[in-house]
Structures are given as C-alpha cells and as structure tokens.
Structure 1
Amino acid sequence: MRNERLRAVMATGGWTHAALAAAVDVDPKSVERWVDLGRTPRRTTALQAAETLGEDVHALWPRLRQPRAARGVSSELVALYDQRADLPVSAFADLITQAGKRIDVLVYAAVFLHEAYPRLNELLRERAHDGCTIRIALGDADSPNVQQRGAEERFGHGIESRCRLALMHYRPLVEVSGIELRTHGTTLYDSVYRADDQMLVNGHVWGVNAYASPVWHLRRSDNGSMFDTYAESFDAVWATARPVEG
C-alpha cells in the first residue's frame, strides 16, 4: 500500500527519491519502496529520514509506534544450515532456476558454484533471455579488504587468486543482455544469493572459510524486514562497485 503521507511530505518539500536517498545514505530504490510499496525502513534510517524531512517519524511510519513482540523465529526464515557445505550446489542452482525477475549475487569469489555446476553460465544466460535482470558483484582481488579477508582466513593470497578465477568464469557473460558484472572492494560481512523474493545468505565468521560458516534461507514476508535489509545492503555495495568491461 502506498505511503501517501510520505509522498505528500516529499512533494511539498521538493524531495525526489534520489535526493532523500542521498541525504540518509540509502539506495534510491529503497526510498521508492517506502513510498510506492509502503515499506517501513529500519528505525535508525526512519528517524534520520523524518528529521531530514522535518516530519514526525510516527506520522510517516505508524508501524514504528508499535513495540515489536519478541519472536523465537523470524517469519522470513525458511531454513538455517550450520555451514554452507551442508547445502548441495543444486540448492543454489534451483534458486536461480526459479527466478523470474531478478537474480543478485554478492560474493568475493564463490568459485565452488562453477566448479560443482559447470552449467552455471548457461543457466544464467537462459534466465536473462527469459527476462531476468541479473547483477553479479565479485571481490576486487586488489582491494585491501579482500586481501585482509585472506589473511584472516589464513589463506594468504588464496582468496585473491579465487577472485581472479571467479572473474574469469563470469567474464563470458559481460556481453549478455540483462546481465551486469561488477567488482567491489567492500568489507564483505555476508555472501548473498538472491532470486526474486528468496535469498541464501552465507554469514562470514572471522578466521573461518565461507564453506564452514552458517547459511540462512530467507523468503520475503510482509511481517519482517530481514530480507529487505540484505537487499538494501546489496544495493549499497552495487552502487560502489565498478563495471567489468568486455
């Protein structure tokens, strides 16, 4: 449901989606979702946006007035796995296969996908041909953050070589319509694999390789905000990433 109060306040003040997004340091698409879909931002972001607009935060987002009841399990959590190695690669491939509109991948390398599923590029081409928008963000091997991650995992230069290998795997997709490939140098707290309203999130643990770290399977729900938090995080990294040229 559209947030008419927010739309009116922004219109009165001459605020565009892009201008408000820049003021509160979020992606413009997040602001668009606040207005057009009635999404409620995280409390800290909502407070900052309300202050920027000169409006009461509860007038813009009444849901924030209601205290949240404690929940044992999020309504968005489909499954939790002790480590990524517990998931067969087919779980990632099935997720991609089911996508109809959007596929987002945020990793440093994740070369296990191509190694265990050689058809991955072909599958991504098929999804793009059927209308999916596909965004793949890989780690920049020359980034200090990537190199630091390698040191923390005690892999030395191993992660840097894996980033370069991942880029080699994905590079043939650069010229495919609907697929965009970028490299990023951010500190990566989680690897994200999104297909429409479902997402696999591989948490990163200091000193532990990603294959031995937990994975949670999320499905977007009107009663939760976890999925959108990770989606917005992807958008923020994507905005800083550099396109890979063909």
Structure 2
Amino acid sequence: MPNDRLRNGMLKKGLTPVALADKLGVDPKTVERWVTQSRNPYPRYRHSIAELLDESESYLWPDALPTQRAVQVSQSEVVHIYPRRGAVPTDLWQKLLEKATRQVGVLVYGGLFLPEFNHRWVSTLREKALAGVQVELLFGDPEGKHIGERGDDEGIGHAMSSKVLNALAFYKDLRNLANVGIYYHDTILYNSIYRFDDEMLVNTHLYGTPAAYAPVLHLRRIGGGELFDNYVASFKQVLGKKRAVWPEH
C-alpha cells in the first residue's frame, strides 16, 4: 500500500524520488519503496524528510513508533517549564534567536516586551533576514474582535490594541526586507509561540491573566515527537488567516 501522505508532501515541494534521494544520500529505489510500499525510513531519514517537506513525522508515518514510545519521546521534547514568563532567563530569548539559521516565527497579540527590554532583538532579526532566515511575525489585529475580548478579559480594554501598535513601531524598519513577513491575525490566541528553528518557547494563556504571569514551555524538537510539531501546526493555521500589516510591502 503506497504512502500517499509522503507522495503528496513530495509533490507539494516539487521533489522527485531522485531529488529526495540526492538530498538524503540514499538510493532512489529506496525512496521509491518508501512511497510505493509504505516502508518506514530509518529515524535519521524520517527526521530529515519531515524537515524537507515541512510536515511532522507522526503525520507522514503514523505507525512508525508505538503509541507509548511516541508519548515518551514527546515528553522528552520539554526542555524546561517556567511558572511564568518573567521566570524565563532574560538572555534565553536572544540566545535562541542568534542560534536560528532557517526560520523564526512569532505569534503574539503584542509581544511588546521583546523589543522593549532587549535592544538587540530587532537588529538581530534584521541580520537574520539578510542572512536568508525566514522571519514571520504575527500580531493581533488592533481592530479585531478577539484582541478586544482579550483586553476586556484582562481588564485593560483598548490598551491591548495600543500595545500592538506600540510594538509595531519597533519593527517598521524591517518591512522592506526580503524574508520578513509582518502580519495581523484575528484569532483566539490560546498560546503565544516563539519559534527558532527546532526550539520553541510557548507562553500558555490563562483566562483573565496577563501573559507575563502565565507558564512558559521551552521545547526542542525530537524526531518522532508530537508536541513541538503540534504547536508548529497551530502556528501555520494562524498564518493561513493572516493579512499584511503594510500591504504595500
């Protein structure tokens, strides 16, 4: 029985079996067996293929790991849990950003604390973009329904929208750069997500509580794990509802 998920993922990325084999350093016939006979690649290949196709391993090969083992691997993806955002080491945000070589993704309502308290944050994003790193920044729509509700829940009303506009003032010099996308979203923000290649900080949200006082998960992707990839999938869904902050750019 063929692996249609793998085949479809390759088609979307324009990869033939020969091209994928070349990237992985394997025989094209091996790739053909992965596709046509649903053979499961070795773990090191599964991780590389998932990265190339921008899909999760659990989606491409749902039966590759027994359920209990998949749960154990996912638990290993948790590097640390902080009881509140303020407990995250102040230099960790910058360190993770500096390590990124492929992609940086930020999903917030305002996220004003990052550029406000780290004067190197925006300049480093600029350096990364110029070096070819894909930067995607998603902010709450100041005129949207959900950010208004969030402001009411926290008892700050329209101040939430003001925070977004204040944050965007820091990023305006990035709007003309290639590899940088700065967008609005109008979705319920269940978690704020800060992705740096295969590491991520997830600021969970608590009803009526400012994000600064809610727990943060530090995650690192491990092949066969599901936790990291689930948050990536959530980020992508919000990205699919984006609109440009500065449409002319």
> Against the structure 1 CA distance between its residues 168 and 40, is the aligned structure 2 distance closer, same or farther, given a 3 Å change threshold?
same
Does structure 1 conserve the Cα–Cα contact (< 8 Å) formed by 2:58 and 2:225?
no
1:84 paired residue number: 85
> Against the structure 1 CA distance between its residues 163 and 99, is the aligned structure 2 distance closer, same or farther, given a 3 Å change threshold?
same
1:178 paired residue number: 179
> Against the structure 1 CA distance between its residues 8 and 190, is the aligned structure 2 distance closer, same or farther, given a 3 Å change threshold?
closer
Provide the C-alpha distance between the structure 2 equivalents of 1:38 and 1:231, rounded to a whole number of angstroms.
Answer: 9
Runs of 5+ unmatched residues, structure 2: 14-48
Provide the C-alpha distance between the structure 2 equivalents of 1:232 and 1:74, rounded to a whole number of angstroms.
Answer: 18
Shift of 1:38: 7.2
| Correspondence 1:42-57 to 2 at 5 A | none
Provide the C-alpha distance between the structure 2 equivalents of 1:129 and 1:35, rounded to a whole number of angstroms.
Answer: 22
Shift of 1:73: 7.7
Count of residues in correspondence between the two structures: 210
Deviates most, 99-108 or 118-127: 118-127
Cα displacement string for residues 182-233 of structure 1 (whole angstroms, at most 9, x for unaligned residues):
1101100000111100000000000100000000000000131111111111
Does structure 2 conserve the Cα–Cα contact (< 8 Å) formed by 1:6 and 1:35?
no
Runs of 5+ unmatched residues, structure 1: 19-31, 47-59
1:68 paired residue number: 68
Cα displacement string for residues 97-146 of structure 1 (whole angstroms, at most 9, x for unaligned residues):
11011100000001011110122211111111122111000111111100
Provide the C-alpha distance between the structure 2 equivalents of 1:179 and 1:34, rounded to a whole number of angstroms.
Answer: 20
The alignment's TM-score, normalised by the length of structure 2, stands at 0.76
2:217 paired residue number: 216
* Corresponding residue SS for 2:67: coil
Provide the C-alpha distance between the structure 2 equivalents of 1:151 and 1:71, rounded to a whole number of angstroms.
Answer: 39
* Corresponding residue SS for 2:142: coil
Deviates most, 144-153 or 117-126: 117-126
Provide the C-alpha distance between the structure 2 equivalents of 1:163 and 1:81, rounded to a whole number of angstroms.
Answer: 25
Provide the C-alpha distance between the structure 2 equivalents of 1:7 and 1:73, rounded to a whole number of angstroms.
Answer: 22
Provide the C-alpha distance between the structure 2 equivalents of 1:197 and 1:72, rounded to a whole number of angstroms.
Answer: 15
* Corresponding residue SS for 1:170: helix
2:4 paired residue number: 6
Shift of 1:157: 1.4
Provide the C-alpha distance between the structure 2 equivalents of 1:101 and 1:72, rounded to a whole number of angstroms.
Answer: 24
Provide the C-alpha distance between the structure 2 equivalents of 1:35 and 1:102, rounded to a whole number of angstroms.
Answer: 13
Provide the C-alpha distance between the structure 1 equivalents of 2:99 and 2:128, rounded to a whole number of angstroms.
Answer: 9
| Correspondence 1:181-200 to 2 at 5 A | 181-200=182-201
Provide the C-alpha distance between the structure 1 equivalents of 2:238 and 2:157, rounded to a whole number of angstroms.
Answer: 24
Provide the C-alpha distance between the structure 2 equivalents of 1:149 and 1:140, rounded to a whole number of angstroms.
Answer: 12
The alignment's TM-score, normalised by the length of structure 1, stands at 0.76
Provide the C-alpha distance between the structure 2 equivalents of 1:192 and 1:103, rounded to a whole number of angstroms.
Answer: 10
Shift of 1:239: 1.2
Identical-pair percentage: 31
Shift of 1:62: 2.4
* C-alpha RMSD over aligned residues: 2.9
Give, as a single letter, the amino acid of the residue that structure 2 aligns with 1:40.
S
